[in-house]
Amino acid sequence: MQVVEDFQWKKGMTVKDIVSQFKHVGFQSVELAKAAEVIVKMKKNSAKIFLTYTSNMSTSGLRGFFAQLIRLGMADVIVTTVGGLEEDIMKSTGEKFIVGEFEADDVELHEQGINRVGNLFIKNESYMKFEDYIGPVLAKLYKKKNRWAVSDMLKEIGLMLNDENSVLYQAAKHDVPIFCPSITDGAFGFHLHMFQQDHNDFIVDVVKDFGNILFVTSHDEKKGVIALGGSISKHHAILCTLLNGGAEYAVYFTTDHKTSGSMSGATTNEAKSWGKVKDDSDVATVIGDASIMFPLAMIWALEELDKDKMLKKEGK
């Protein structure tokens, strides 16, 4: 039986020390500590790890952390939404996003050509520069061939980048597939449409890519899911695990609640009713801001795995 223990500050305490104490504090701190342990289990038991996140996570500074996790061998499959890819490319080509305020005057921001994502600001000119960049990239892709599955296209784009903190770059370098079933849901989709107006035989095949994600794993392979937020990225991964026998491990980070009936609020236990997560799986659902909760849980896991020499050396 586990009992509540008082949290204590110790001089020089590490993230690992903090999360270890969380096991005995109560409420979401216990679930966060459990999430860290499940992440360690999925890696130690050689599960194929699906990391899923929505585009706002890439808007934030977590984008470079995701790239680092790929280098460390902590993500075998990435599933995200198109905004995360656009903004990864923007940052890779020198764009800087601004930390602003949640209560900013949005009408004034619009007049200044600034778009707000929570308390982060993106200038219109960043999208204009993205347009200048992506046009020639699509021309290169078309010259190579005229039909692309989404993940194949994203790998090719990643190979064109040169940024250690880029998810696309690191995924291409380490042969980690990136799936984006909502590839048209943003600026990228608009530019794909515009390119196709002049090249009507240019095809980006989303259905083909659904087959690709299904065959990225199998019934026999252990599977783990780490999902930040919900949306199509989370569901695309757990649908894949459903069709391949279910995941043995699952960790969700979300600010939504199960009472909404939404994908964002759906817990790891709810996933068991669908067979997306196995009945006897190790799971945790952390309710809280992923920009805080995820780094805490993952750093604890990385410390544990590094101690057992289970991480790839960065740069390899």
Q: Yes or no: say if 277 and 268 are a contact pair by the CB < 8 Å rule.
A: yes
Assigned token pair, 157: 């784009």
Amino acid at 85: L
Q: Yes or no: say if 125 and 141 are a contact pair by the CB < 8 Å rule.
A: no
Look at the chain and count its residues: 316
Assigned token pair, 222: 């252990």
Amino acid at 18: I
Burial label, 201 (beta-carbon count in 10 A; 0-12, 13-18, 19+): exposed
Shortest CA distance to 277 belongs to which of 233, 217, 237, 230?
237
Amino acid at 153: M
HSE, CB side, 13 Å, CA atoms: give it for residue 286: 31
Amino acid at 255: T
Catalytic residue among 276, 278, 312, 316: 276
Q: Yes or no: say if 146 and 202 are a contact pair by the CB < 8 Å rule.
A: yes
Torsion of CA 77, 82, 83, 86, to 10 degrees: 90
Assigned token pair, 133: 């960049």
Helix (H, G, I), strand (E, B) or coil at 177: coil
CA distance 132 to 64: 23
Q: Yes or no: say if 177 and 231 are a contact pair by the CB < 8 Å rule.
A: no
Q: Yes or no: say if 224 and 50 are a contact pair by the CB < 8 Å rule.
A: yes
- Is 276 part of the annotated catalytic residue set? yes
* Catalytic (active-site) positions: 276
